Chain A
Amino acid sequence: MTLTTDRLATTDDHELGAMVRAGRRDALAEAFRRHSGSVFALALKVARDRVLAEEVTQEVFVRFWRRPDAYDPDRGPLRSFLLSHAHGRTVDLIRSEAARRTREERDVARLTAGSGPSIEEEVMDMETAGHVQRALETLAPQERDAIRLAYFGGHSYREVAALLDAPEGTVKSRIRSGLRKLGAELRDLGA
């Protein structure tokens, strides 16, 4: 990896973004050092395929390099921006007809058997897992299921509705209300 200086290691997102815009590859290397682990973990969790996750991770940072203006530091942290792109791209890649069939069969089997990782188990980072788990406990089970299937399962809300045998409008509401509750809880918990 490109040498990371001490100064770069303490640079905030605003400045790091500006340096990438200025064509500083060492700044991109620093962004990669900080965030590639969570980008890769998310892509791997959603795609359940290492090669695909590696591909997505590369693409996220290559795109950040090519289109650094897409990141607006005033709208949120760099990590959130990179993860959002990683998630979108992973979902795009896995959402082919064939892959969807396979995943739906698998998720139906899981729902039926009541097994498979819960959303709490999907969240593993020790620092924030406690906060996130406490926040998740405040959600209705239907809200948790809808968010888990959409975010980690990579399903559209219509697919989630079919999987949960619930009306599409209800699923849309559950996802939105669940995310809003989580946001409020996490703010209260100081996460």
Chain B
Amino acid sequence: MIRQMRHEDIRSLLGAYALDAVDASERAEVEAHLETCADCRREVDDHLAVASMLASADDATPDDLWTRVERRLDLDGEAETAEVVPISLLRRARAAAIGVGAVAALLALVVGFQTVRIGSLDADLVAAEGRLDRLEGALAAGDYGSLARTVSADPSADTMLLAGDQGIAVTIVMLPDGTGVLVSSSLVPLDAERTYQLWAVQDGAVISAGLLGANPGFVPFHVDPSRLDGLVITAERAGGVPVSEQPAVAAWFPDA
């Protein structure tokens, strides 16, 4: 009886689910149910087919969009060769450090860094606050175009790919002054009680570079570029933590 009600509760959500109009926890519940219920799976597939007809308008894509896709695929290839070493080291260290488990501690184990607490913001950060304010202003206004353009359009900007297990990839674009924007990610959305957190490895320290939210979109941040030895993302409780006790979800290190 309880099982039946549960099934009906989920059924009532299938339309909203197909239109991405449910929250993260409902989405997780529906998806778990779909694994075992062929009837509901069929209904969702039908809804998705209807939605794809509503979206039947076609638009000319920008000329260079395929080239940009290819560039990103090429970047994947580079990431496989450039980042295999540190990521595999992280994984091995994670296995060795079960029970300790702090990404900061792991990094200390792996590369001999010492952890420090959040709050060691330096003069460079203050100097870049004006720029960050403008980016955040654009973000607050929901003006993603302006936000992404400011950084992506800058010819001096670097693209960094943070790679993780199971094909997780996070793309970050960063200006020479250390102002960065997370521009895309395949991170799995977290529930509302958790958040992704970005960490900068600099000068032997692991410093929080900001919270990315439970389901990162475009997120601006700032790090000191002259001392940047790596970037790491972890999943934390909402509000973030000063020192992580979680394994790395994705990481980037410059060529070793």
Number of residue pairs across A and B with beta carbons under 8 Å? 211
Q: Is the CB of B65 within 8 A of A58?
A: yes
Q: Is the CB of B57 within 8 A of A125?
A: yes
The one of B23, B57, B144 in contact with A52, judged by C-beta atoms closer than 8 angstroms, is: B144
Interface positions, chain B 182-223, Cβ under 8 Å from A, are 183-184, 186, 189, 213, 215, 217-218
A175 to B139, CA, bound (A): 31
Q: Is the CB of A102 within 8 A of B65?
A: no
Nearest CB of chain A from residue B169's CB, rounded to whole Å: 7
Which residues from A are CB-within-8-Å of B183? 55
The one of A29, A63, A84, A99 in contact with B48, judged by C-beta atoms closer than 8 angstroms, is: A84
Among B8-16, B85-93, B224-232, B243-251, the stretch in contact with A:
B8-16
Residue-wise, chain A 83-117 has the 8 Å CB interface mask toward B (1 for contact) of 11001100111111011011100000000000000
A127 to B139, CA, bound (A): 38
Which residues from A are CB-within-8-Å of B140? 98
A183 to B47, CA, bound (A): 7
Which residues from A are CB-within-8-Å of B14? 176
Task: Knowing A76-B49, A93-B217 are in contact, say whether A157-B184 is a contact too (CB < 8 A).
Answer: no
Nearest CB of chain A from residue B71's CB, rounded to whole Å: 9
Size range of the chain A interface in the assembly: 35 or more
Nearest CB of chain A from residue B39's CB, rounded to whole Å: 13
Which residues from A are CB-within-8-Å of B57? 38, 41-42, 45, 122-125
Task: Knowing A75-B41, A160-B21 are in contact, say whether A176-B58 is a contact too (CB < 8 A).
Answer: no
The one of A37, A79, A128, A157 in contact with B59, judged by C-beta atoms closer than 8 angstroms, is: A37
Q: Is the CB of A37 within 8 A of B53?
A: no
Q: Is the CB of B189 within 8 A of A169?
A: no
Instruction: Closest B residue to A127 by CB, please name it.
Output: B56
Nearest CB of chain B from residue A188's CB, rounded to whole Å: 13
Q: With an 8 A cutoff between CB atoms, is A21 at the interface?
A: no
Which residues from B are CB-within-8-Å of A2? 66, 70
Which residues from A are CB-within-8-Å of B23? 156, 158
Nearest CB of chain B from residue A1's CB, rounded to whole Å: 5
Q: With an 8 A cutoff between CB atoms, is A147 at the interface?
A: yes
Instruction: Closest A residue to B13 by CB, please name it.
Output: A172
Q: Is the CB of B142 within 8 A of A75?
A: no
A180 to B49, CA, bound (A): 11
Which residues from A are CB-within-8-Å of B21? 150-151, 155-157, 160, 175
Instruction: Closest A residue to B57 by CB, please name it.
Output: A124
Nearest CB of chain A from residue B142's CB, rounded to whole Å: 4
Which residues from B are CB-within-8-Å of A123? 54, 56-57
Instruction: Closest A residue to B64 by CB, please name it.
Output: A54
A181 to B57, CA, bound (A): 21
Instruction: Closest A residue to B68 by CB, please name it.
Output: A58
Q: Is the CB of A76 within 8 A of B58?
A: no
Interface positions, chain B 36-87, Cβ under 8 Å from A, are 41, 45-62, 65-70, 72-73, 76
Residue-wise, chain B 122-152 has the 8 Å CB interface mask toward A (1 for contact) of 0000000000000000011110110011001
Which residues from B are CB-within-8-Å of A79? 52
Q: Is the CB of A93 within 8 A of B144?
A: yes
Q: With an 8 A cutoff between CB atoms, is B96 at the interface?
A: no
Q: With an 8 A cutoff between CB atoms, is A49 at the interface?
A: yes
Task: Knowing A57-B61, A127-B56, A132-B54 are in contact, say whether A150-B148 is a contact too (CB < 8 A).
Answer: no
Nearest CB of chain B from residue A154's CB, rounded to whole Å: 7
Q: With an 8 A cutoff between CB atoms, is A66 at the interface?
A: yes
Which residues from A are CB-within-8-Å of B41? 75
Q: With an 8 A cutoff between CB atoms, is B20 at the interface?
A: yes
Instruction: Closest B residue to A83 by CB, please name it.
Output: B52
B residues at A contact (CB < 8 Å)? 12-16, 18-23, 41, 45-62, 65-70, 72-73, 76, 139-142, 144-145, 148-149, 152, 167, 169, 183-184, 186, 189, 213, 215, 217-218
Could you list 19 A-B pairs, sorted by A, with CB under 8 Å?
A36-B65, A38-B58, A41-B59, A42-B57, A51-B145, A52-B218, A54-B68, A55-B148, A59-B184, A63-B186, A84-B18, A98-B142, A102-B142, A128-B56, A150-B21, A151-B51, A178-B15, A179-B19, A183-B47
